[in-house]
Structure 1
């Protein structure tokens, strides 16, 4: 079964998925008139909450929506995903993560604008958003099979098995194994059950509790991680330009661990960027679609900040730490353990504990938000009355994620993300003219043209 999952993931992430995400994103980037660059300043003003109105339909504020979305993206994809990219594709994979992020900003702008433009209602009459509602409300009932495909893949792909797996790995590596307290598989089970109980307390409270916790955890976790990384970069500051040059040069020479093919490195970079910032996958539109906002363009502008913060800023910092310390060339560690090696080398004694704290908060906040995403997909398929069944299923899979292998976990999530991207990108490109018209109208009204 494990081999089948790995082979399926590798197959679906070959050229067609690269064309769909990066090619489709580039088309949207150009079609928008390079809006992510031109309107970045306005987006920053919006996220400060100047235009929030608590009386509008929806469940959370735009800032909370962005915090919840970032809680899901700024996480282990930045710490472990970057390490996986460098380990498999060399420094050049980071360059293609950057390219994916820039086009991903346009993709998120369009997809999250549509999430407000074409909101639907669940079986309880609660306003909901996301690709499944965009497809049904914006494209028509005949396209509903696409909405079902997205939701089925979402129920499976938005499990937090990767977060559980990597949090278990770092806790064992930092706290248990060095102190002789690890007993193999039984330890994994204990950690998995503990995570399940903690996550259950939060997610059973619904999106408002999830958003409240995420909006408090995100600034803290980003702060701890940034301070740690900046301290490391200061130590190696003279080598930073050389590492940035290495990333760019290696992106085109393709001297990568996985075979030296530039095309393979591009695919790897796009694959890891999709896992990191989720642009084009369809997760962020679900939480942004729940925001108290009646301006689709405004929500889209706020949402597009996600890939910039996540990949351009946070992933780059992680990559520099790994490259500057040289651990990517001198160790066989993968995933979070590679980043752990870099922190321990740069900050002996305390580095591994700082990263452990960051990983703990990153992983837990992502687990909270992913439950909401999968929950919405389940509601679309089976109705609100059966929603609690998904929560129990989600919590049980946390334990499973803690005990299975990293390769199988990553391949399973990658495969489901690819399936989710198909209906998301089709609907986004199909309805892009609606967003462009709304954009022109919005900035005319705002006096920004």
Structure 2
């Protein structure tokens, strides 16, 4: 395990180098400017689409706009928002939050383009079913000569879609909040029992297919965001006098990088802080990675731009709202300076300090719902990748591999799980962003026509 950990630490550092940063953030900024900020101007229209004003049962697809966004959000609004933010602040200080925001704003534009393409260039699988996602818009939009890029994405997606980080952090939370305080020592056995329990719950939902996943997600996600929002507001109210100073510190520390604890990059700690914030932001909202287009590609609509606008709301909810709430909790309670904890344990410390006695239990409920809903969506992404590679007849085998990986995530280290997912997310981003940048003019042509008609 130590050798594996060292390998993926090096692999993660290598793939998240300057070229990928330029592709993911530089490409996102290009799309932002290239679109002339048009998607942002129609934010209100996006909410109308989400509410079902333009739903048409006659359109091709499997699920509604709302179900598509909730399926995508159930994978992004998860442990990245609770544990990922804590990892970023523990390593980079308050300034890391600013670069997560940058990732979120740029990600809104990226999601607009990638998810518009998911509808614009839907393909058919070997069973004749309409499908969307990077592998299909690469094949349909760029042609069969680019198939190697679609295959590369799908292979990386088989590992990138595994739920190992979510499971790892949920297991850690159950140990820290529920078992250890009640005299049950953390051990391999307790981790394995938690893993088996999660595997059973996941199996019940994911073996039911997209319809069950989307319906479950559309009920869980809105409820969990509201519940978490209320819990965090209580913590912020208790510490209201220090909120302005810490909010200011996010901006000043973003360029001073005085609290960064890792190795310098690109000749200094600021470069390393930027990469840290972007990586954690990308892990949180998954913009440019290519997972969300697979969910949005199944939407019942014939209007690509409409789905792009709905998808754009994802990073706004995920990074600019939920991640900010977690970050402010950790900052205003001061645990980022007084505790050696990392990941979900650091967020739990913030809840415990602000609401002694019951705060950690509130967080545990949030974590459980966040994590379990994420488990459902990721299985759908991996299944789609496998069905593209070897056919729909064999795609269900991925679910068994996926469920087995839950046991691995529950019983291994946080560092290894972060590095594995970071590595494969980076590999998924390369074909997704390359194809999106090449096909961006096609999206803008459709966008101009759509907004003109509107």
What secondary structure, in the 3-state scheme, does the structure 2 residue paired with 1:304 have?
Answer: helix
Q: Which one is further off, 103-112 or 14-23? A: 14-23
Structure 1 position 238, deviation (Å):
2.1
In 2, the alpha carbon distance for the partners of 1:220 and 1:435 equals 33
Aligned to 1:31: 34
Structure 1 position 178, deviation (Å):
1.1
2:230 maps to 1:227: yes
2:100 maps to 1:92: no
What secondary structure, in the 3-state scheme, does the structure 1 residue paired with 2:52 have?
Answer: coil
Aligned to 1:133: 136
In 2, the alpha carbon distance for the partners of 1:107 and 1:183 equals 41
2:65 maps to 1:62: yes
2:312 maps to 1:308: no
2:313 maps to 1:280: no
In 2, the alpha carbon distance for the partners of 1:181 and 1:88 equals 30
Structure 1 position 171, deviation (Å):
0.5
What secondary structure, in the 3-state scheme, does the structure 2 residue paired with 1:112 have?
Answer: helix
Aligned equivalent of 1:406, options 393, 406, 414: 414
In 1, the alpha carbon distance for the partners of 2:440 and 2:110 equals 10
2:426 maps to 1:422: no
Q: Which one is further off, 192-201 or 9-18? A: 9-18
In 1, the alpha carbon distance for the partners of 2:210 and 2:329 equals 35
2:356 maps to 1:348: yes
Please give the per-residue CA displacement for 1:233-278, whole angstroms capped at 9, x wherever unaligned: 1111222111111000000001112257100000000000010000
Aligned to 1:382: 390
In 2, the alpha carbon distance for the partners of 1:155 and 1:27 equals 29
Q: Does the 8 Å contact 2:39/2:109 carry over to 1? A: yes
In 2, the alpha carbon distance for the partners of 1:394 and 1:273 equals 24
Q: Does the 8 Å contact 2:168/2:412 carry over to 1? A: yes
Gaps of 5+ in 1: none
Aligned to 1:443: 451
TM alignment of 1:73-112, pairs within 5 A = 73-112=76-115
Aligned to 2:45: 42
Q: Does the 8 Å contact 2:154/2:388 carry over to 1? A: yes
> CA 1:183 to 1:351, structure 2 compared with 1: closer, same or farther past 3 Å?
closer
What secondary structure, in the 3-state scheme, does the structure 1 residue paired with 2:150 have?
Answer: helix
- TM-score normalised over the length of structure 2: 0.97
TM alignment of 1:213-362, pairs within 5 A = 213-255=216-258, 256-259=260-263, 261-362=269-370
Aligned to 2:5: 2
Aligned to 1:204: 207
2:17 maps to 1:14: yes
In 1, the alpha carbon distance for the partners of 2:327 and 2:64 equals 32
In 1, the alpha carbon distance for the partners of 2:186 and 2:335 equals 27
In 2, the alpha carbon distance for the partners of 1:232 and 1:96 equals 24
Please give the per-residue CA displacement for 1:42-61, whole angstroms capped at 9, x wherever unaligned: 11111111001122111100
In 2, the alpha carbon distance for the partners of 1:324 and 1:35 equals 36
In 2, the alpha carbon distance for the partners of 1:262 and 1:221 equals 35
Q: Does the 8 Å contact 2:175/2:186 carry over to 1? A: no
In 2, the alpha carbon distance for the partners of 1:343 and 1:146 equals 44
In 2, the alpha carbon distance for the partners of 1:168 and 1:136 equals 39
What secondary structure, in the 3-state scheme, does the structure 2 residue paired with 1:195 have?
Answer: helix
Please give the per-residue CA displacement for 1:386-412, whole angstroms capped at 9, x wherever unaligned: 012101000000000000100000000
- TM-score normalised over the length of structure 1: 0.98
In 1, the alpha carbon distance for the partners of 2:119 and 2:185 equals 48
Aligned equivalent of 2:145, options 133, 142, 147: 142
Structure 1 position 183, deviation (Å):
4.8
Q: Does the 8 Å contact 1:131/1:285 carry over to 2? A: yes
What secondary structure, in the 3-state scheme, does the structure 1 residue paired with 2:251 have?
Answer: helix
Please give the per-residue CA displacement for 1:181-240, whole angstroms capped at 9, x wherever unaligned: 235001111111110011000000000000000000001111210110011111112221
Q: Does the 8 Å contact 1:224/1:354 carry over to 2? A: no
In 1, the alpha carbon distance for the partners of 2:73 and 2:416 equals 25
What secondary structure, in the 3-state scheme, does the structure 1 residue paired with 2:376 have?
Answer: helix
Aligned length: 446
Ranges of 4+ aligned residues in structure 1 off by more than 4 Å: none
In 1, the alpha carbon distance for the partners of 2:71 and 2:129 equals 19
Q: Does the 8 Å contact 1:157/1:413 carry over to 2? A: yes
What secondary structure, in the 3-state scheme, does the structure 1 residue paired with 2:445 have?
Answer: helix
In 1, the alpha carbon distance for the partners of 2:19 and 2:400 equals 35
